[in-house]
Amino acid sequence: METDGLDVLVTEQKKEVMDAASLSSDLDLAFRLQMEEAMGASRNLQTLSSSSLKLTSSLPSSSSSTVSEPPLASTLKISEEEEDMSYALRLQALEIEKFEQEKKDGFQSQEEIRRLSDQIRVVSHDAKFARAVKEMPDEEWEDTGDWFEDPIEPSREYPFRLYFKGMISNEYVQGSWKSLSAMGIVICDGYDNVVLEIEKAGENDLRRGVAEAKSLIEGLTAALSLNIRQIDVYCDYATLINQVQGRWNAKGQLGPLIDQVRLLRKKFDSFHMYLVTRTDIKFSFRLARRAIDSQLTKATNSNASNTLKQTCSICLEDTDVSQMFMVDGCAHRYCFSCMRQHVEVQLSHGVLPGCPHEGCKTNLNVDSSRKFLPTKLIEIMIQRLEEAAIPETDKLYCPYPKCSALMSKREMQSNQQASSSSHHTADSPGLRRCIKCQGPFCLNCIVPWHSRMTCWQYKIRNPYPHTEDEKLRSLANRNLWRQCVKCKHMIELAEGCYHMTCRCGYEFCYTCGAQWRNKKPTCSCKLWDEHNIVYDELNEEEDDDDHDEYYDEEDDSDSEFEEIHYDDPLCDMYMNYYPKFFNLKGPKYLVDCFWTNQQSGRLREWELEVAVTKVVD
């Protein structure tokens, strides 16, 4: 009834606002017409003034000024008043529109709660039915299983449940005792499924009754905001229940709070309060206790440090300003812990660390990053900066396998080193030494220094690529590695999707090598394969005892074939194709061989063929 009356009032007020707006528009139109008539009359007076100049000059000056001056001040005043009235009408219309939108949102939230309650009721019934089928004896299932049914009950609107707790705790903080209060509120549906949780700190130095009453008011207000009209309230404080029900009188500060609870109670169609034990309100009790602990932590930290705090936008934790890092150039601030994790992940992917803020392209400075980074990460960061400072076409790596230091080809060309007598040749301009290992190498051939021969002679005597390079290329072909088009680095897909991001920042498809632009592929290849996503539990078992269950030395070879389980189809194929290799080596060797790396199928095939050839021969 109260809601219907409010709707009627809002409708009437809306009609009055529309009438007032229409009247204001009519008055504005009349005012403009009147102004046009006044301006026309003024122009006619100016025309007649030239013909009657002598007559008007003989008249008194006061009368002349009275006729010629229009009432401009009063006109402006009327215009300002009309403008203020129009602005007030617009504000009132916005308030009415806001009220209607809130009412509409309330209906939608109520419908959503009802839908979720029905869905939970169906799920609960299905679980109960499945449990009954599982527990049914086999004989009964064979006799009546085909006719067994348990229809769901018609939908009934169960009252919602409100659990609340107003907690008072005396804590010892920085040499003195302080009384902290908090409230924990949980609203559940008729099946005790949580709908809303409220965890809130209260005022200090409160009595328990006041804290409990304020917590109840907060919970009832939240329930009304959700358009809940039937509610059961559960409380562990008998005094509050007796005061709300009118059995006991509330005095002092508690009196107005109890009156407010009674007013809120009248807004519900069904309202009941029940006295329960503390264990029955464990949800709200836990929330209140957590709010107390949060207050205690903040009080301790603020008193101990006596410094300002800032909230990190990544972890959302309140951190001392001294533990916040500000990025040079953009002034974005984050805590040391989040910055350390961000830089570590960026460096592990071979990317220069920058500001974590979305869309910000500011790079981090090494000197300022020493505040939160350990020495090891600082060294890696310096190395990444040195690599990024050298263009891709100008990068040069030491040809010695144990070194592979990065150098600049342009700097090496400008810094020609004098060769020693032992390395003196007819073509010494290409002789350079590594900046790290000091090993001599040829700048033209990018190989260790070829003593006493020119580059042309070296290429004639060594027409094929370097042995290590050929092995790497062969290994990459067998393992299906891919080479970055931009920086020529080798990349292996160990797990995940086919969208690859190189350490240089180039993104491409692992299947065909096509470039990704703006996080979108330019090819039609599939994005992922389940073999690279789904893990095999047997891969994680590395103990020898786990493999012994498949092999028993006392059994014969036939039983060995029957007891071994092959998760990989390739293993099963080769076990059937090479029985002689199986008998000679035994199943345990094969288990160790094939469980080493199930991602490298072709490499596994090649190794097996070589091993079988040696055993058979």
Q: Which residues are catalytic?
A: 497
Beta-ladder partners of 335: 324
Question: CB 610: neighbour CB atoms within 10 A?
Answer: 9
343 in Cβ contact with 353 (< 8 Å): yes
Rounded CA-CA distance 284/162 in Å is 9
- Calculate the alpha carbon distances from 298 to 315, 318, 601 in Å: 16, 9, 56
196 in Cβ contact with 186 (< 8 Å): yes
Selection from 234, 119, 93, 78 nearest residue 165 by Cα = 234
Residue with tokens 């809601």: 3
Selection from 277, 295, 206 nearest residue 238 by Cα = 277
The residues, ordered by sequence, that sit 6+ positions from 120 with a Cβ below 8 Å of its Cβ are 189, 191, 193
**Is the dihedral angle over the CA atoms 596, 597, 598, 603 positive or is it negative?**
negative
The residues, ordered by sequence, that sit 6+ positions from 232 with a Cβ below 8 Å of its Cβ are 159, 160, 161, 162, 272, 273, 274
Hey, what are 602's tokens? Answer: 């072709």
Q: Residues in the chain, how many?
A: 617
One DSSP character per residue, 244-262 reads HTTSS---TTHHHHHHHHH
Strand, coil or helix: 119: helix
Give exposure, 469-478, as e/b (b: 16+ Cβ within 10 Å). eeeeeeeeeb
Beta-ladder partners of 319: 310
Selection from 404, 471, 463 nearest residue 436 by Cα = 404
Scanning 554-600, the segments in alpha helix (DSSP H) are 557-563, 569-577, 579-585, 587-594
Q: What is the DSSP letter of 472?
A: H
Question: CB 360: neighbour CB atoms within 10 A?
Answer: 13
342 in Cβ contact with 356 (< 8 Å): yes
Rounded CA-CA distance 104/98 in Å is 10
397 in Cβ contact with 405 (< 8 Å): yes
Beta-ladder partners of 521: 516
Q: Which amino acid is at 198?
A: I
Q: 588: buried, middle or exposed (CB in 10 Å: 19+, 13-18, 0-12)?
A: middle
Rounded CA-CA distance 369/380 in Å is 12
Q: Which amino acid is at 422?
A: S
Q: Which amino acid is at 68?
A: S
Rounded CA-CA distance 213/452 in Å is 98
Hey, what are 140's tokens? Answer: 């009964």
